[in-house]
Amino acid sequence: MIIPSFNKKIIVPAIGQSFLKLDLRRTIKNPTIFIVELSFILTLPYLIIDMMGGRFSGFEIQLVVWLFITLMFANFSEAIAEAWGKSQANDLRSRRTKKKVRRLEMVGEKLVESLIYVSKLKVGDVILCKKGDIIPVDGEVIEGIAIIDESAITGESAPVIRESGSERSVVTGGTRVISDFVKIKTTTELGSNFSDKMINLVEGVKRGKTPNEMALTILLSGLSITLLLTVTNTKIILDNYIAVAGSQIEKPLSVIVYLAILICIIPTTIGALLSAIGISGMDRLFQTNVIALNGKAVEATGDIDLILLDKTGTLTLGNRWANKFIPQKDVNIKYFSKIAQLASISDKTPEGRSIVLLAKDKYRVKADNNDIKNISLMPFSASTQMSGVDIKSSSSEKKLIRKGSLPAIIKHIESLGGVVSEYVIATANRISKQGGTPLVLTENKKVLGVIHLKDVIKGGIKNRFSELRKMGIKTVMITGDNQLTAASIAAEAGVDDFLAGISPEGKLEIIKQEQAKGYMVAMAGDGINDAPALAQANVGVAMNTGTKEARDAGNLIDLDSNPIKLIDIIKIGKQIVMTRGSLTTFSVTNDVAKFFAIFPTLFGSIYAKSSSGEGPLSALNIMRLESFESAILSTIIFNALIILALIPLVLRGVKYKANKPFQLLIKNMIIYGGSGIIAPFIGIKLIDMIINFIGLI
């Protein structure tokens, strides 16, 4: 994960937001930081009264200043996480608006091409996009034909053909031209494109507190109240000892000092960073092209035990693709491939394109001009269940090439006086039972063989599911298909289990049953039939290429429509949980170490029996700090600086590795618990040496 560069585009807005976050109505939602702000506000009148009474204290002024800095650093950590997320959305928008495009317009009788900024485009403008260009806005192809890479929008790796005068003339802003050229008439204003809607969705997301975050907030509040009582008792005890037992502290300490002590020992570190951890997690999710509609969904991914995945459109591409040519024994495979390509030359469906590509890529077949010079297209129709071509040869004979379903081809061949062999019938039936789709290919009344179409598994799925298995997460494919089809796809995808013949209501009931057993369930789907299950699941990941109903039901939207991203989503969820846990451990042990900085110097001279003025409690002054003033000032400075130092870790997140929970806990305690104790001893001592060297005390 890349840490964002802290440039002025991020820092300046974050600083401004830090001041706006001083509003008590906002900070009261974070009780620990609310105590910090309240303490700062209470110190001001005491400081003013002391100064007006001639009791000027540079020590107390420094404490008040560092109280304010602590508060600002706490607000800054949240503000910079928010600014980082907004900067990503702004960068996406500015990258397009600052680009220039070729606009075509008639000047008199001459067509003139001019370069203009994308931001100047209007509905109805005609633009020219060539190979390598990014199509800037949604529009319609009015001239030309090109292959378009739509993976940035749909996640599908296979490029598509877009051409004028057909149902495939619509293009989407953000896609890329990879061959030829097209002239496009814009149909939307800038700001209303598909990608703009995604950016607006990112900016409009409201992050609510997650259950774990609310539980931790309650814990921190209780801890802060307990420590408030501790400091109150400290004042009572210390004031008594000053009067009775003797101490180097000649007079009772002021309210300002006690409030500073309170802020030093309450868990301000995790309190300051808590909100930023959740916000930065959502930002990291956006970097993987996943939109989180709320913070609860992001965190819940870290606790997932079971993932249910729809088959069509989620695990598979959703379209049947040519997988294999199976000719009859007396038919040459090269000849079969050539005829199959001719039969599909006019078929613009994904299935038809896949047949052409299979013949070309695997069998090196390409129709020449003589094959297609006198050709008549026979498009697919619901009535015939076939498609193909009629070719006139030089002898005026007509060659009839057809491909279609087995029942349609049997009827066609019998009408010509031919017979479909048992081999072809058996092959077609076997493919159907395996979950594939057989297309029978014919030339005149001769049956050449069968084209095997099948669902294509999205690339890289099997290896990623193996990673999920190592993380202790079970994957189950759930589909309405028959048992044989489901078994075949499940084996190829590498899921742990599958459920076949399941209705939409059945999917919903399965999720409810698993949740009743105590499992945290994620559901990935794309169709209307998946919507109830997506809504019921703890985490509903909707494919962006799916239906509106599915996207509305899910709480995460995968813009790439790629289920292998589930592992990235889960890792980010676990990162958030681990980061929060690690920094909580660091904060608590950090506060324990601060006790050794402050209290030994306050009580160290009590009951002193030697000329050095050191009492029995001086032995606890392990850091050997110079005085109680330098100890308190050093601690509050360290307390503020550590918040700032941890912001990069919050934005990046604690690195996650698939290990058992107990192993992760031990590692967390050693690394973050240990550093939480060690860091204050080193940091506070160094600050103490510096402030005494330069004479701040």
Round to whole Å and give the CA distance between 119 and 103: 12
CATH code for position 502: 3.40.50.1000
Pick the last residue of a domain from 570, 588, 608: 570
| Torsional class of 379: left (φ above 0), alpha (ψ -120 to 50), beta (otherwise) | beta
| Residue 254 domain-assigned (yes or no) | yes
* 558 and 471 housed in the same domain: yes
User: Which residue type sits at 100?
Assistant: K
Task: Find tokens 């369930």 and name the residue.
Answer: 521
| Residue 109 domain-assigned (yes or no) | no
Q: Do β-strands 181-186 and 139-149 pair in parallel, antiparallel, or remain unpaired?
A: antiparallel
* 549 and 633 housed in the same domain: no
Is 310 noted as a catalytic residue in this protein? yes
| Residue 501 domain-assigned (yes or no) | yes
| Residue 486 domain-assigned (yes or no) | yes
Round to whole Å and give the CA distance between 258 and 599: 12
* 591 and 689 housed in the same domain: yes
Q: What is the pLDDT of residue 368?
A: 57
Q: What is the pLDDT of residue 64?
A: 92
* 585 and 688 housed in the same domain: yes
Q: Which residue segment(s) compose the domain that 158 sits in?
A: 122-189
Q: Is 519 helix (H, G, I), strand (E, B) or coil?
A: coil
C-alpha separations of 20 from 24, 67, 75 in Å: 10, 17, 9
Q: Are 104 and 112 in contact (CB under 8 A)?
A: yes
Round to whole Å and give the CA distance between 469 and 308: 14
Backbone angles phi, psi at 128, to 5 degrees: -110, 125
Round to whole Å and give the CA distance between 246 and 162: 90
Q: What is the pLDDT of residue 1?
A: 43
| Residue 113 domain-assigned (yes or no) | no
CATH code for position 173: 2.70.150.10
Pick the last residue of a domain from 142, 161, 189: 189
Round to whole Å and give the CA distance between 31 and 221: 6
Round to whole Å and give the CA distance between 52 and 59: 16
Show the beta-strand stretches assigned E in 536-659.
Answer: 539-543, 556-558
**Helices (H), ranges, 482-565:** 483-493, 504-516, 531-536, 548-553
Q: Which residue in 64, 30, 32, 35 sits closest to 47, CA to CA? A: 64
| Residue 198 domain-assigned (yes or no) | no
* 327 and 427 housed in the same domain: yes
The residue annotated as part of the active site, out of 149, 310, 347, 558, is 310
* 677 and 595 housed in the same domain: yes
CA 516 to chain centre: 28
Q: Are 571 and 652 in contact (CB under 8 A)?
A: no
Fill in the DSSP letter of residue 227. Answer: H
Task: Find tokens 């529009």 and name the residue.
Answer: 139
* 514 and 435 housed in the same domain: no
| Residue 195 domain-assigned (yes or no) | no
* 449 and 462 housed in the same domain: no
* 209 and 84 housed in the same domain: yes
Q: What is the pLDDT of residue 197?
A: 52
* 334 and 361 housed in the same domain: yes
* 496 and 629 housed in the same domain: no
User: Which residue type sits at 78?
Assistant: E
Domain count, the chain: 4
Pick the last residue of a domain from 543, 570, 597: 570
| Residue 197 domain-assigned (yes or no) | no
pLDDT along the chain (697 residues), means of 10: 58 86 86 89 86 77 93 89 68 59 82 83 88 83 83 55 74 80 82 53 50 73 80 73 57 81 88 82 76 73 83 67 88 91 77 84 70 71 77 74 90 90 91 82 92 78 79 84 76 85 84 89 81 87 76 81 76 84 88 84 63 63 80 92 91 76 77 89 91 84
* 380 and 502 housed in the same domain: no
Cβ atoms within 10 Å of 189's Cβ, excluding its own? 13
Q: What is the pLDDT of residue 2?
A: 43
Residue 490 makes CB contacts below 8 A (sequence gap 6+) with: 477, 497, 498
Tell me the sheet residues that pair with 522.
307, 539
